[in-house]
Amino acid sequence: MGFSLVTSFPLWFVLLCILAGIAYATILYYREKTTDFSKLTLRILAVLRGITVTLIAFLLLSPLLKTTSRYSEKPIVLLALDNSGSISLTKDSSFYKNEFAKNYRQLADNLSKKYEVQTYSFGDKITPGINPAFRDKQTNMAELFTEIRDRYSNRNLAALILAGDGIYNQGSDPLYVSDEAPYSIYTVALGDTTQQKDIVISRVNYNHIAFLGNDFPVEITVSAYKCDGAQSKVTVSSGNQQFVSETVLIGQPVYTHTYRTKLTASKPGMQRYRISVSSVPGEISTANNFQEIFVEVLDSRQKILLLQSSPHPDIAAMKQSIEKNRNYTVDNFMLSDFNSSIASYSLVILHQVPSLNDIGFQVTNQLKNSTVPVLYIIGSQSNVPAYNNLMTGLMIPQSLNSFNEATGVFNPDFSLFSLGPEIEQMIPSYPPLTVPFSQYKPGTAAQVLLYQKIGTVSTRIPMILFNQGVDRKSATITGEGIWRWRLSNYAKTGNQQAFDELFTRIIQYLAVKEDKSQFRVMLKNNFSENEAVAIDAELYNDSYQLINTPEVNIVLTDENKKNFPYAFTRTSNAYYLNAGSLPPGEYSYKASTTFAGKAFQKSGMFTVKLLNIESMNTVANHVLLNNMAARHKGQMVYPQQLDQIEKLLAARDDMKTIVYTQKRYTDLVSFLPVLLLILGLISAEWFIRKRNGSY
């Protein structure tokens, strides 16, 4: 390690600092002839003061202390072992777990005498050390190279020794990811490149979500190798119930066939289906003879009530448009025939209700005491004063019961939901609606989707507006005749897509249910068996402010009714739980907490699905390993040739120790020894003066 001083000023400035110190000491100690100090003492004091002033003056030049250090780094050699399940499905799996693992560790020990050696295992994650359990559910070889790049950038990384079967089923192609590697790569070829006798469920395509009562398609691809002449059977079952049974006649050495079927979503919730193919004699493995799929069946059909004061073509146009979406069912009644409760509906559409003939007190009174969203459609039969009493966010003062015809103009500032460009283009061409002639007064919380255009004059009078009340959302279409919009759409484009989308967006916004519960639990419906089950929770006080004061507990219950209790961890203002990886199956949960004397509880279900992707392909890809080694000045060897790797590395000329030089600059003002030196000089001078009776 070496030291030197560096300053941006010329060297002769240092002489000025020395002269300044000499001049200061001379003036202080030699101009006064009546001093009581002896000549020796006087000289000592002058020297101390001169050095002190010289150092202080030198510090004004902002000098830097340059420290030069050198250290060496031996070549780094990494050993990585494929720890995925495909290794354990070969006939040599016992050899890989025992003898090969021992030899691989011995190779690491031997190399550590000359090099810095680090070991890793890789599969669906990267872990330090050689841990040959061969249980990882996926192989992400590209992630290994990413991890090496992040950890060993700008290090003396010389070589990577990668032992694996060359099979990857997650992440990018490792051959191209490794192209950026500046180090040599040696590969150890594990596994078997010979295709064994096997029949496999190689792929299943299906809808992850289905609606109750609907059929959903399932595509099953069966692959067979060296099974020609054999017969098998494909089945689809759930629990003890079998839905599909197809015979498989294998006529070729390499056989692939896709079976298409439909299943019925008969029960709501998460449904588990097992798709399997029966084994054939002599098959190498039956772990790939089945797959499990999980389909979430939603019973989310929302009931919409459509009430009318009298028959009108608008009703048919709205009903047809709404029922195109399978999430909605429509109950249509004349106002005089309806005598039920509106509480069971997600949305109420009132066409010219209240009307001039029947205000519909039964319905309007229910609306005042409920939170069900409402869509009002005003027309020539509407009782406008009664409508004004319903607090809809719009007042229409009565004006001699006269009406105008108005077309729609899109409001570009509307922000509650978005519309496609086709709708915005179609709206100006739609026929006019019959609207009341009056001075409209929208509320402050109202948002206008369409304004009225009367003749050629665009106004700020709302045609379609939305209002967010304290407990209820509502909307108003201020004119009748929207059936003409649907016909006009078909006449211009041959379909009603633009009109249907416009009306569907209106219905979706109004009918969507907002979660206003004070206690909420959020998690995915599906997890993989190698994925940590993460659960979030939120608790709100009566002012709907997030809090996390009380403790929140949750109990997970598996298919065997075994309970797993957990406590949530508090975050900044919420809760979080990492339950770790769970065995495959269906789980229910029940979360609970207590706040301000009130008990809160949430329950639900989720699934952990089995991953058997490693068993889908067990034919080793030694071509990839050989190409990877050849591209990086390495070589592929077999497990029995491990000792060759030591010789190959020893023969390389570039496996050398690198000496690094590191320069560091420190501001001398902040260098503690200099400050202590100045303080010591001043203290020594003061002590000598004091001892000789001076100040």
- pLDDT given at position 36: 67
In this structure, the strands spanning 553-557 and 585-595 are antiparallel
Strands lying side by side in the sheet with 302-308: 328-334, 302-308, 347-351, 374-377, 473-477, 457-468, 446-454, 403-410, 433-436
Domain CATH code at residue 472: 3.40.50.880
Domain CATH code at residue 220: 2.60.40.10
| Residues 471, 453 share a domain | yes
Q: Which of 298, 331, 353 is the last residue of a domain?
A: 298
pLDDT band at 306 (very low <50, low <70, confident <90, very high): very high
Q: What is the mean pLDDT of the chain?
A: 89
Q: Please report whether residue 657 resides in a domain.
A: no
Q: Please report whether residue 591 resides in a domain.
A: yes
Number of structural domains, the chain?
5
The phi and psi torsions of 64 (rounded to 5 degrees) equal: -115, 140
pLDDT band at 6 (very low <50, low <70, confident <90, very high): confident
| Residues 186, 205 share a domain | no
Contacts of 285 (CB under 8 A, 6+ apart): 89, 198, 615, 618
Give the model confidence (pLDDT) of 639-658 as tens digits: 999 999 999 999 988 888 88
Domain that holds residue 232: 198-298
| Residues 18, 46 share a domain | yes
Give the model confidence (pLDDT) of 21-68 as tens digits: 888 888 887 765 556 677 788 888 888 888 888 888 888 888 888 888
Q: Which of 270, 298, 326 is the last residue of a domain?
A: 298
Q: Please, are residues 105 and 497 in contact by the beta-carbon 8 Å criterion? A: no
* Higher pLDDT, residue 449 or 672: 449
| Residues 251, 107 share a domain | no
Domain CATH code at residue 639: 3.40.50.410
Give the model confidence (pLDDT) of 259-275 as tens digits: 999 999 888 888 889 99
C-alpha span between 64 and 425 (Å, rounded): 71
| Residues 357, 453 share a domain | yes
Average pLDDT score over residue span 216-239: 91
- Structure-token pair, residue 3: 């030291």
| Residues 501, 398 share a domain | yes
Question: Model's pTM, two decimal places?
Answer: 0.62
pLDDT reading at 332 higher than 90:
yes
Q: Please report whether residue 342 resides in a domain.
A: yes
| Residues 66, 107 share a domain | no
Give the model confidence (pLDDT) of 682-691 as tens digits: 888 888 887 7
- pLDDT given at position 33: 55
Give the model confidence (pLDDT) of 15-25 as tens digits: 888 898 888 88
- pLDDT given at position 627: 94
Average pLDDT score over residue span 569-596: 93
- pLDDT given at position 639: 93
* 62-71, 90-99, 252-261, 521-530, range with the lowest pLDDT: 62-71
